[in-house]
Amino acid sequence: MAKSYLSMSAAELQAELESVKKEYEDIKAQGLSIDMSRGKPGSDQLDISDGMLKVFDDGNFKCEAGLDVRNYGLLDGIPECKKLFADLLEVKPENVIVGGNSSLSLMFDYVSQCMYQGAGFTPWSQQGKVKFLCPCPGYDRHFAICEYFGIEMINIPMTAEGPDMDAIEEAVKDSSVKGMFCVPKYSNPQGITFSAETVKRIANLDTAADDFRIIWDNAYCVHDLTETTDELVNIFDVLPEKNKDMVIEVASTSKISYPGAGVSCLVSSVDNIKAILKRLTVQAISYDKVNMLRHVKFFKDVQGIKEHMQLHAKILKPKFDAVIDTLNSDLAGLGIAEWNEPNGGYFISLDVTGGSASRVGVLCKEAGVTLTNVGATFPYGKDPTDSNIRIAPTFPTPEVLSKAVKVLTVSVKLACLENLTR
Amino acid sequence: MAKSYLSMSAAELQAELESVKKEYEDIKAQGLSIDMSRGKPGSDQLDISDGMLKVFDDGNFKCEAGLDVRNYGLLDGIPECKKLFADLLEVKPENVIVGGNSSLSLMFDYVSQCMYQGAGFTPWSQQGKVKFLCPCPGYDRHFAICEYFGIEMINIPMTAEGPDMDAIEEAVKDSSVKGMFCVPKYSNPQGITFSAETVKRIANLDTAADDFRIIWDNAYCVHDLTETTDELVNIFDVLPEKNKDMVIEVASTSKISYPGAGVSCLVSSVDNIKAILKRLTVQAISYDKVNMLRHVKFFKDVQGIKEHMQLHAKILKPKFDAVIDTLNSDLAGLGIAEWNEPNGGYFISLDVTGGSASRVGVLCKEAGVTLTNVGATFPYGKDPTDSNIRIAPTFPTPEVLSKAVKVLTVSVKLACLENLTR
Query: How many residues comprise chain B?
Result: 422
Question: Do B144 and B197 sit in the same domain of this protein?
Answer: yes
B385-399 average pLDDT score? 94
Domain end marker among B299, B316, B342: B299
Residues B95-114: tens digit of each pLDDT: 999 999 999 999 999 999 99
Check if B66 contacts A (Cβ < 8 Å): no
Low-confidence stretches of chain A (pLDDT < 70) are 1
Average pLDDT over residues B360-372: 96
How far is Cα B240 from Cα B230, in angstroms, rounded to an integer?
24
Say which of A105, A125, A290 has its CB closest to residue B261.
A290
As a whole number of Å, the CA-based R_g of chain A is 23
- Please check whether residue A53 lies inside any domain of the structure: no
- Whether residue B146 is found in the same domain as residue B131: yes
Helix (H, G, I), strand (E, B) or coil at B212: coil
Determine which helix (DSSP H) or strand (DSSP E) holds A402, and give its type and residue range.
helix A398-420
Q: Which residue among B299, B328, B349 closes a domain?
A: B299
Same domain (yes/no): B368, B223 = no
Query: Domain check: are A230 and A154 in the same one?
Result: yes
Contact A294, A52 (CB under 8 A): yes
| Surface of A (342-361) touching B: CB under 8 A | none
Tell me if chain A has a CB within 8 Å of the CB of B73.
yes
Q: How far does Cα A194 stand from its chain's mean position? A: 13
Residue A141: name the closest of A103, A171, A112 by CA: A103
The residues near A75 (Cβ < 8 Å, ≥ 6 apart) are A277, A280, A281, A284, A285, A286, A287
**Which candidate, A86, A135, A78, A139, places its Cα nearest to that of A108?**
A139
Q: Which long-range contacts (CB under 8 A, 24 or more apart) does B332-337 make?
A: B332/B1, B332/B2, B333/B1, B333/B2, B333/B3, B333/B4, B334/B2, B334/B3, B334/B4, B334/B5, B334/B413, B334/B416, B335/B4, B335/B5, B335/B6, B335/B7, B336/B5, B336/B6, B336/B412, B336/B413, B336/B416, B337/B412, B337/B416
* CATH number of the domain where residue B218 is located: 3.40.640.10
> Residue B267 pLDDT > 70, yes or no?
yes
Task: Quote the mean pLDDT of chain B.
Answer: 97
With a pLDDT cut of 90, the percent of chain A lying above it is: 96
Q: Is residue B53 part of a domain?
A: no
Report if residue A132 sits inside a domain: yes
Percent of chain B surpassing pLDDT 70: 100
Whether pLDDT at B1 is above 70: no
B108 touches chain A (CB under 8 A): yes
Residue B104 within any structural domain of the chain: yes
What count of residues does chain A have?
A: 422
Q: CA B29, B387, B411: angle at the middle one, nearest 5? A: 15
Residues A284 and A327 in one domain: no
Q: Is residue A311 part of a domain?
A: yes
* CA distance to A344, B30, B263, B370, B406, per residue, from B363 (Å): 62, 14, 38, 10, 12
pLDDT digits (tens, 9 = 90+) for B74-89: 999 999 999 999 999 9
User: What's the one-letter identity of residue A300?
Assistant: K
State the Cα–Cα distance between residues B369 and B361, nearest whole angstrom. 9
Contact B72 A259 (CB under 8 A): yes
Average confidence (pLDDT) over B379-396: 96
In B161-200, the residues whose Cβ lies within 8 Å of chain A are none
State the burial class of residue B365 (Cβ atoms within 10 Å of its Cβ: 0-12, 13-18, 19+): middle
Q: Does A60 touch chain B (CB under 8 A)?
A: no
Same domain, B134 and B264: yes
C-alpha span between A284 and A289 (Å, rounded): 13
| Residue range of the domain that includes A290 | 61-299
CB atoms closer than 10 angstroms to residue A302: 17
Q: Which of A399, A403, A407, A166 is nearest to A389 (CA)?
A: A407
Are A295 and A310 in the same domain?
no
Residue B363's pLDDT band, with cuts at 50, 70 and 90, is: very high
Cβ-based neighbour number of residue A300 at 10 Å: 13
> B91: helix, coil or strand?
coil
Q: What are the pLDDT digits (tens) for A50-83?
A: 999 999 999 999 999 999 999 999 999 999 999 9
Q: Work out how many domains chain A is built from and give that number.
A: 2
Domain edge (last residue) among B299, B329, B352 = B299
First to last CA, chain A: 26
The answer as to whether A54 is a domain residue is no
Between B2 and B178, the more confident residue is B178
Q: Please provide the DSSP assignment of A197-252 as one string.
A: HHHHHHHT---S-TT-EEEEE-TTTT-B-SSS------GGGG--GGGTTSEEEEEE
Choose the closest CB to A72 out of B70, B147, B260. B260
- DSSP per residue, A339-359: E---SBSS-EEEEESTT-HHH
Do B283 and B218 belong to one domain? yes
Q: State the nearest Cα–Cα gap between B205 and chain A, in angstroms.
A: 28
Q: Report the alpha-carbon distance of residue B180 to residue A240 in Å, rounded.
A: 47
CA-wise closest residue to B408 among B372, B377, B383, B384? B372
Tell me: do B294 and B310 sit in the same domain.
no
CATH number of the domain enclosing A321: 3.90.1150.10
Q: Which residues between 237 and 276 in chain B have a beta carbon less than 8 angstroms from any beta carbon of chain A?
A: 258-261
- Model-wide pTM > 0.95: yes
Q: Are residues B277 and B174 in the same domain?
A: yes
Kindly state the average pLDDT of the residues B308-321: 97
SS3 state at B357: helix
Check residue A1 and give its pLDDT: 63
State the ipTM, two decimals: 0.97
Evaluate whether residue B52 is within a structural domain.
no
The DSSP line for B129-153 is --EEEEEES--HHHHHHHHHTTPEE
Residues A264 and A151 in one domain: yes
The DSSP call for residue B329 is: H
Among A98, A47, A187, residue whose Cα is nearest residue B71 = A47
Q: Are residues A287 and A316 in the same domain?
A: no
**Residue B123 burial (C-beta neighbours within 10 Å; 0-12, 13-18, 19+):** middle
CA dist., res. A222 & res. A253, Å (int): 10
CA separation for the pair A349, A30 (Å, rounded): 26
Q: Compare all CA atoms of chain A with the CA of B108 and give the residue at the minimum distance.
A: A283
Domain-located, residue B51:
no
Looking at the complex, does the CB of residue B282 fall below 8 Å from at least one CB of chain A?
yes
| Mean pLDDT score, B306-328 | 97
Between CA B288 and CA B264 the distance in angstroms is 11
Q: Nearest-CA neighbor of A264 among A47, A84, A22?
A: A84
